[in-house]
Amino acid sequence: MTNPSPPRKASEPPWRTEGTPDEPPKPPSGGRRMRGGWWNLVLAALIVYLIANLVLSFFNEGDEPTISYTEFSKQVDEGNVSKIYAKGDAIQGQLKKARDNPEGD
């Protein structure tokens, strides 16, 4: 004795156990893209850059005195400069012997 199968409605498709669905599943947002995307990435990168720049500026505060270019040039002529670093418009140097700044700074 076998159990007879239950009756089906005529409009109901047969049940399958394998294969893929006929239609691909629709995205939950109704076809819209994921929120944010590239703009969130750019905003996050900008925030990280600004925070890193702010933190590094606190550690980069030099205690080295600043003198005018004329005074620096005089120290070079006197032979009191042991090292010179130049990059772009900035010139830095290290004096052999400490001197008072005649400008009072």
Q: Residue ranges of the domains in the chain?
A: 38-95
Contacts (Cβ under 8 Å, ≥6 apart) of 65: 101, 105
Structure-block tokens of residue 63: 């205690």
> Which ranges constitute the DSSP H helices of the chain?
38-59, 69-77
Mean pLDDT score of the chain: 77
pLDDT of 103 strictly over 70:
no
For position 14, what pLDDT does the model report? 64
Structure-block tokens of residue 82: 């042991």
For position 91, what pLDDT does the model report? 83
CA angle 103, 57, 88 (to 5 degrees): 65
Q: Number of H helices and number of E strands within the chain?
A: 2, 2
pLDDT of 46 strictly over 90:
yes
Closest CA to 93 of 58, 57, 65: 65
Radius of gyration of the chain measured on its C-alpha atoms: 38
Q: Which residue has the higher pLDDT, 28 or 4?
A: 4
pLDDT of 50 strictly over 70:
yes
Mean pLDDT, rounded, for 32-60: 84
Q: Which residue has the higher pLDDT, 87 or 2?
A: 87
Structure-block tokens of residue 7: 């009756």
